[in-house]
Structure 1
Amino acid sequence: MQQLRFTELATFMRVPLVSDLTDLDIGIVGIPYDGGLTARTGARYGPREVRNQSSLMRAINVATGARPFER
């Protein structure tokens, strides 16, 4: 059963979180950092917001019928 979007650990496109990296083909890492700024801070929120927005993507593209998560 899939959890509600606001209750689970935020991952990119809601893919499962893995700790064993040996079988991965690709990995995406968000590194929040704005320590070098004195004004206009906020870059540290970027990776989390990318994960938040990517969680809204659907499992199927309605226009093309493509299912990117099926193998």
Structure 2
Amino acid sequence: MSNVGDELPFVGIPTFCKFPYTRKLDGVDVAIIGVPIDQGTTNRPGTRYGPRAIREASQIYGPFFIAEQGIYDVELGRYKLAGTKIIDYGDVIVAPTLSELNLDIITVYIQEILSKNVFPVTLGGDHSITFPVIRAFKDTSLKIVQFDSHLDFMDDVAGIRISHANPFKRVHNSRKI
């Protein structure tokens, strides 16, 4: 069987940038993990499909990542990420409608990746996933830069304390920043 055409974006199972799908973390530097949740949103649901859509959109870039060289950055005029072993770890398995349980599940998945000294890159989901991801870095000093049109720092929205409007408030309260 020939491998001709394997690199085409419409061929194969859509993993992030066509990186291999595996749950094995030995020798891995970066694990892409999807967090298909939108139950923390109070408006415009559908972000649970975000990880899948991002993976499908990324298919076009996969053939341009060469393990030994990395990927060419046109703006910098050089290759980046040479020798970086990147995998697609799949998705967090969520329990629909169980918001607090899902936050714990997300933290466990990220801790699992971190325990192997692998850097997690999350594909979301609504903003509520930010808190459990950051919580997994509990003993790590973090610098956070947020690009958003609002702070995600409300204490609650109509009495709801776990939503897309307050992950950084939860982070602040849990890390005593």
From 30, 40, 46, the equivalent of 1:36 is 40
Shift of 1:70: 6.6
Greater relative contact order, per chain length (Cα 8 Å cut-off, separation 6+):
1
Shift of 1:3: 6.6
Return the structure number with greater strand share: 2
- Report the Cα distance in structure 2 between the residues aligned to 1:46 and 1:14, rounded to whole angstroms: 17
Shift of 1:39: 3.9
Shift of 1:9: 1.8
Number of equivalenced pairs: 70
Shift of 1:69: 8.0
- Report the Cα distance in structure 1 between the residues aligned to 2:12 and 2:81, rounded to whole angstroms: 19
Structure 2 unmatched ranges of 5 or more:
65-70, 84-177
Aligned partner of 2:21 in structure 1 is 17
- Report the Cα distance in structure 1 between the residues aligned to 2:11 and 2:59, rounded to whole angstroms: 12
Shift of 1:7: 4.6
- Report the Cα distance in structure 2 between the residues aligned to 1:70 and 1:50, rounded to whole angstroms: 23
Structure 1 unmatched ranges of 5 or more:
none
Return the structure number with greater helix share: 2
1:1-71 matches, cutoff 5 A:
1=3, 2=6, 5-37=9-41, 39-57=43-61, 58-59=63-64, 61=72, 64=77, 66=79, 71=83
In 2 relative to 1, CA 33–39 (structure 1 residues): closer, same or farther, beyond 3 Å? same
Shift of 1:37: 3.4
Return the index of the structure with the highest Cα Rg: 2
In 2 relative to 1, CA 49–32 (structure 1 residues): closer, same or farther, beyond 3 Å? same
Structure 1 vs Structure 2 CA RMSD: 2.6
Sequence identity (%): 33
In structure 1, the residue corresponding to 2:30 is in which secondary structure?
A: coil
| Residues 40-49 or 51-60, more deviating | 51-60
Shift of 1:40: 1.3
